Every structure is written in C-alpha cells, then in structure tokens.
Structure 1
Amino acid sequence: MSNRFARAGALVVATGTALLLSSGVASAHVTAKIIGEAAEQGAYSKITFRVPNERDDSGTVKLEIKLPADAPMSSVRPKPMPGWTAQVTMATLDEPIESHGAEITEAASSVTWTANQGTRIAPGEFGEFELAVGPLPEVEELVIPAIQTYESNEVVAWDQVPGDDGEEPESPAPVIELAPASEDDAHGGAAPAANETDGEESDDTAAAEDASDSTARWLGGAGLVVGALGLGFGAGAMMRARRAGQQ
C-alpha cells in the first residue's frame, strides 16, 4: 500500500513539474497589457509591453513594435526609460481619421526602443516598455507584432496571430482585447470644477455649510457650559469635604 501511495505521489509531482515548465515556456514571449483600467474602444490608455529574455548567453538590446495600419491611433507617446532611446516612426494613412475635430493624415506605424551603451535586458530578467496611446480603435482585438533583438544579433519576431482553433502559435504577437465604449465614458467630458457649478447648487452648498457651522458652534458652546458646571460641582464637593474634616 505504501509503495502505491509513493508512486502516486511521484506521478503528481512529475505532472505538476511538467505543467509548470510547459506554462513557463509558453508564456516566455513579448506580451502587451493595459493594467489597472478597462481597455475600451475610443479611450486613452497606457499599454505595457513585457519583454522577457529567453537566452542564457545574450541580452536583449532592442525592441520594435508594429502598430496596425488598419487601426491607427492619433496619439502614441513612449514613456522615457533610463538607458534606452525611443523612436516613433510616422506613416501617411491611406484614409485620414478624425480626432477632436481635426483631420489626421498620418499616425505612428512603429515604435523602437534601443539600448544605450552598457544597457540590456540580461539573461533571466525582463523589461517593461510603456506607451500612452489613444483613442483606442474600434476593434475587438488590437494585434501589435513585436521584434526582439539580442546583442548576438539574433532577431526574434513575435508576429503570429492565433488561429481559428484558439491554439497559441509558436511565436504569438501581443494582443489586447478591447471592450465597446461605455455610455458614461469619462473621455466624453470632464467633471465640472468647483467654481463652475450652477447657482442653485452653489446656494444649496452654502446653506449646508452654514447649517453645519451653526451646529458646530452650538455644540461647542454646550460643551463649554457642561465643562463649567462640572468644575463648579467639583469645587463644591472639595469644599464640603474640607469642612467635614475640620469638624
């Protein structure tokens, strides 16, 4: 019986190890995510590209991402990253797009981060590269191919799109799923400032503040009265105690 349990335990450990190794291999590629907020069509957001180093003897020194020409975004701005130089390449659009009432005839087609002298993503490490983009296009999925270059001059293209069966390809491209724009999209209008509210709301606010202030003053005065009475009762008690002691 003990041998049977031992064999079963060994099988469970082996299976778990295999699953961990396979998931690690499958996930060791360039990915793109919008972290901490909803990825909605028409919104402005930040895309984070995570770049793991898959080589034991060479560091990553360059990352290039390809933005889809059929889903352009009028604003693409890389976040400064110490030790790296970012370059945005623009391209003329086949069909102009409109953004904030203006016609846009060109948009970013690619962004390239190049490591400065002495900088790299070392073996066993990963780097994160960020873009502020928008408005996000009206598509369900935003496919952004990435090209990773090692200091050995090896180039790895992460540009394969998942098939209809949903199975992940060998070199998958980063993909971001976009939800339809919500009706109460925050980008449709900004919240009014305190001094931009209407007169009725300002009057109500002022009345509420006056009432609150009056209540606070009344409570403060009542507290002083109660305190004074307490001191009077205490002094009277002490005097009576002294008289009783003298008698």
Structure 2
Amino acid sequence: MSRLRNALAVTVMFLLATAVPASAHVTVHSDDAVQGGYGQLAFRVPTESDTAATTGLQVAFPADHRLAFVAVRPHAGWTYKVVKSAVRPPLVDDDGNQVAEAVSEIDWTATGPDSAIRPGEYDEFLVEAGPLPKVDRLEFRVVQTYSDGSVVRWIDPGQSEHPAPALSITAGSVTAPAVQPVAASAASPPWALGAATAAVLIAAGSVALAWRRTSRRARPTE
C-alpha cells in the first residue's frame, strides 16, 4: 500500500507539472471573428517565468493572409509600434480602395517595471482587424521578451512546446428575416376588413336580441 501511494503521488505530480505549462501558452482568441468580417483579436500573454516579468511582445501577422485594416487599442503602461510592408497584389478595402501596404508586425513594450507582466500574472493586448480571410484559422508568430533578457519564441506550427497562437474564424451566416404579423395584416385585401366588421355587427345584434327576450320574460305579470 505504501508503494502504491508513492506511485500515485509521483503520477499526480507529473501530470500537474506537465499540465501547468501547457495552459500558460501565449494565445489569440476572438468572440466575433467571422470570415469576411471584422473582429477584435485578443493576444493573451501569461508570464511563465518564476523570477522575471514580461516586458515585450512582438506579434507577426501571417504573410499569406494580410489584413487591409488593423487598429491597435492603446494599453496603459505600454507603448506600441506598427510595422507595415508592401502587399502584392494590393488588397481592396470595403470602400473599393486599393491597399498597397498592410500591417506585418506589432511590437508592444512596457514603459517600466510597474507595467511589466509579473510572474503568476497575465495580460491581453487588443487589436481590431479585417476583413478576415475565408479560412478556418490564422497563425501568428509571437516573440515574448522577459526582464532578464530571455526570449521565448511562440512560432512552431501545431502541437509543440512553443506553438504559434492560432485564431479560429467561423464561417459567415445569413440570418433569416423575422416574421412581421402586423405588416401581413396591413397587406390584407379591403373586403377582409368589411367582412370582419359585418361579423362584429351581427354578433352584437344577436346579443342585444337575446337580452331583450330575457328582460321580457323576467318582468312581473300585471
């Protein structure tokens, strides 16, 4: 029994040691990323080091799917630099204008130690981008810099020790128009309104006739 408990303890410790780093990868996600539309992209950056803080983040956009529009949301305590490169053939935005240069990289840098992402913490860096390509996923290459000078490159494809953050993009859908019963009634032919009015008048007359007969029967005999 003692050997069994020791074996179970070692197994649990191993599973915990391997599961924690896997959940601390740099990732990208979006709640409104739709193919052909615009969405807010959030790059989530945890600090895996026990002794150093995250002070820099470089995000390289996929070269095979450049985005015509990218806007950076300011992040308190951090500065950012947007790098653009030529696109051939040029992209076309929603207004039909050709876009010859598109964002290829965004670099965030902490302005001081108080702004850095300390051990055991995480932060998110937001951008608005689109139109998103008609693909299921986009992979971004990310470089994370620590206060001690060490660098972690999240650039490997697929399931690996340092996987590149991948954004899932859902296919666009067309929503069916809601049924408007009021509008349908307004479109009814004129004779329908006349028939309804006649039915109401007939019903009212029947009620009045029945009331008169009941009143006569209830009168006392003189």
TM-score using structure 2 length: 0.72
Is 1:143 aligned to 2:139, yes or no? yes
Query: Where does the alignment leave 5 or more consecutive residues of structure 2 unmatched?
Result: 177-181, 187-222
Structure-2 separation of matches of 1:183 and 1:19: 44
Cα distance in 2 for residues equivalent to 1:43 and 1:13: 50
Q: Which residue of 2 aligns with 1:49?
A: 43
Give the letter for the 2:165 counterpart. Answer: P
Deviates more, 1:41-50 or 1:20-29: 20-29
Instruction: Name the counterpart of 2:23.
Output: 27
Asked whether 1:108 is paired with 2:103, we answer yes
Shift of 1:9: 6.3
Q: State yes or no: 1:64 paired with 2:64.
A: no
Alignment of 1:116-135 (within 5 A): 116-118=111-113, 119-135=115-131
Deviation at 1:8, TM superposition (A): 6.0
1:129: how far off? 0.8
Shift of residue 10, structure 1, vs aligned partner: 6.1
Counterpart pick for 2:161 among 165, 170, 186:
170
Deviations 1:116-141 (A, max 9, x none): 02321111211111111111112222
CA shift for structure 1 position 103 = 1.3
The residue number in structure 2 matching 1:93 is 87
8 A Cα contact 2:21 2:48, kept in partner: no
Instruction: Give the aligned residue type for 2:130.
Output: G
Question: How do 1:187-202 residues align onto structure 2 when only pairs under 5 Å count?
Answer: none
Partner of 1:183 in structure 2?
174
Tell me if the contact between 2:58 and 2:106 (Cα under 8 Å) persists in the aligned partners: yes
Over the matched positions of the two proteins, sequence identity in percent amounts to 35
**Do the aligned partners of 1:71 and 1:139 also contact (CA within 8 Å) in 2?**
no
Determine helix, strand or coil for the equivalent of 1:18. helix
TM-score of the two chains, using structure 1 as the length reference: 0.65
RMSD: 2.3
Partner of 2:149: 153
Aligned length: 179
